[in-house]
């Protein structure tokens, strides 16, 4: 089944204000993606995002427990070597915390969206067939659809990222009408996602149903953003 109709011209205005909760929502979703990636604790990749903190805690506890045991044994055998053992324990533990902190900063600390959300920056986007215009007052940046490298669906919104300094956060309550939000969200979904039911690549589709399996795309978008 083919979907050969041409996409109609459209324009949706998104205007409002960021709040810190916007970044927190994206961060939660980003954490779910990152949780499947390898880290210095390789068994972390086999558990879901809800168990990440527990796995980290158990990992640190095992490492510290082993170090404490060997330090205690060294203390019992030769007290002079115990101080060295305890010092090594603290150095290793501090190094692990430092590595974890550096990784988090590299991943999130330089993100412009995080800073804008904390400042409560006002936003204005114009979503068109060609892409998203980012109105920054004196300058207007054009973010074409093919430039987007990552899409994150959150409750009542969708985050699109080109780089750490260029992004767009389309929030439901920043659209003029609910119908505009649903229509725009469907456009983004068709351009950036696969059908949740059959995996069909939706890029180029203009219908409300999947060209392959016929599933309702509007309902798929509602599930992603609720």
Query: What is the rounded average pLDDT of the residues 114-124?
Result: 82
- Give percent of the chain above pLDDT 90: 21
Q: What are the φ and ψ backbone dihedral angles of 20, each rounded to 5 degrees?
A: -55, -30
The separation between CA 75 and the C-alpha centre of its own chain, rounded to angstroms, equals 47
Q: Is the pLDDT of residue 40 over 50?
A: no
Query: What is the rounded average pLDDT of the residues 194-213?
Result: 89
DSSP-assigned beta bridge partners for residue 171: 157
Report whether 164 contacts 30 (CB < 8 A).
Answer: no
Radius of gyration of the chain (CA): 24
Q: What are the φ and ψ backbone dihedral angles of 47, each rounded to 5 degrees?
A: -120, 160
Q: For the chain, report the end-to-end CA distance as a whole number of angstroms.
A: 30
Q: Is the pLDDT of residue 43 over 50?
A: no
Report whether 16 contacts 173 (CB < 8 A).
Answer: yes
* pLDDT single digits (tens) 171-180: 999 998 999 9
Q: pTM of the predicted model, to two decimals?
A: 0.66
Higher-pLDDT residue of 77, 148 = 148
């Amino acid at each position: 089944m083919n979907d050969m109709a041409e996409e109609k011209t459209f324009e949706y205005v998104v205007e409002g204000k960021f709040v810190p909760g916007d970044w927190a929502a994206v961060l939660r979703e980003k954490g779910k993606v990152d949780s499947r990636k390898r880290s210095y604790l390789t068994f972390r990749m086999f558990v879901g995002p809800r168990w990440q903190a527990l796995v980290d805690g158990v990992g640190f506890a095992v490492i510290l427990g082993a170090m404490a045991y060997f330090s205690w044994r060294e203390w019992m055998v030769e007290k002079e070597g115990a101080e060295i053992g305890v010092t090594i324990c603290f150095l290793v533990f501090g190094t692990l915390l430092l590595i974890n902190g550096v990784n988090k900063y590299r991943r999130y600390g330089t993100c412009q969206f995080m800073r804008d959300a904390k400042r409560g920056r006002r936003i204005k986007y114009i979503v068109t067939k060609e892409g998203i215009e980012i109105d920054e007052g004196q300058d207007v940046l054009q973010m074409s659809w093919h430039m987007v490298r990552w899409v994150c669906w959150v409750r009542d919104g969708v985050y699109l990222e080109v780089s750490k300094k260029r992004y767009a956060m389309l929030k439901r309550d920043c659209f003029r009408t609910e119908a505009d939000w649903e229509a725009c969200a469907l456009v983004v979904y068709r351009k950036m996602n696969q059908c949740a039911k059959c995996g069909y690549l939706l890029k180029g589709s203009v219908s409300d149903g999947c060209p392959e399996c016929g599933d309702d795309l509007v309902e798929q978008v509602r599930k992603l953003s609720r």
